[in-house]
Amino acid sequence: MFQRFYPKAWVENAYDIDYGALYQRGIRGLIFDIDNTLVPHDAPPDSRSAALMERLSRQGFQVMTVSNNHEPRVRSLAEKLGIAYICDAGKPSPRGYLEACRRMGITPRQTACIGDQLFTDVLGANRAGIYSILVVPVDRGTDILRIRIKRRLEGPVLKEYKKQFGGPVRGNTGLNQENP
């Protein structure tokens, strides 16, 4: 019943993902959510997020952010990180994801999406045929009201996921425990 909301992998954070393993799988493009995936909600990019984007670029990945947030927030962060962006994406519609793939010149099968929400990031990626990776939110204390409500609704889905696949994986092994 909940399978369409299940990520392919659930990891502790975006910074410890084994991106080399993704590259070996044929993933060439990465789509990131911003708020509570890379940085706390409405926070500017930090040295950690900038270093990650630089490392991923050196590894040969194309990187974009696809966000439901508005242009001033998304553009500011994306420009500081040196990545392309799509704002007001309408997630979980696959439209923004597919547009990101088109702009990167790759197929959905060559793309992974990293995000902190099941009902937007994961569902949208799954609907687009993109490899979905759920991360634990960076700082739940910064969630706005509608996000806190969504997180409560995610509870039953995550409970079922945990029964089948376990909880989030910590460390640089995040792709070893994966939902088929």
Q: Where are the domains of the chain?
A: 3-165
| Distance between CA atoms of residues 162 and 55, nearest Å | 31
> Which candidate, 177, 176, 179, places its Cα nearest to that of 21?
176
Regarding pTM above 0.95, the answer is: no
Look at 2-6, 107-111, 156-160 and tell me which has the smallest mean pLDDT. 156-160
β-bridge mates for residue 134, sequence order: 10, 115
Other CB atoms within 10 Å distance of the CB of residue 164: 11
* Superfamily (CATH H level) for 3-165: HAD superfamily/HAD-like (3.40.50.1000)
Does the pLDDT at position 171 exceed 70? no
Q: Assess whether pLDDT exceeds 70 at residue 178.
A: no
Q: Where are the alpha helices (DSSP H) in the chain?
A: 19-24, 47-58, 71-81, 95-104, 123-128, 145-165
pLDDT digits (tens, 9 = 90+) for 133-166: 999 988 766 667 777 777 788 878 888 888 888 8
* pLDDT score at 173: 47
Beta strand spans in 33-110 (E): 62-66, 84-86
N-term to C-term CA, the chain = 15
Max CA-CA distance within the chain? 40
Could you give the residue ranges of the DSSP H alpha helices within 68-115? 71-81, 95-104
Mean pLDDT check: name the lowest of 19-28, 54-63, 144-153: 144-153
Among the listed residues 13, 45, 36, the one whose alpha carbon sits nearest the alpha carbon of residue 139 = 36
Q: For residue 96, which amino acid is it?
A: G
User: Would you tell me how many other CB atoms lie within 10 Å of the CB of residue 74?
Assistant: 21
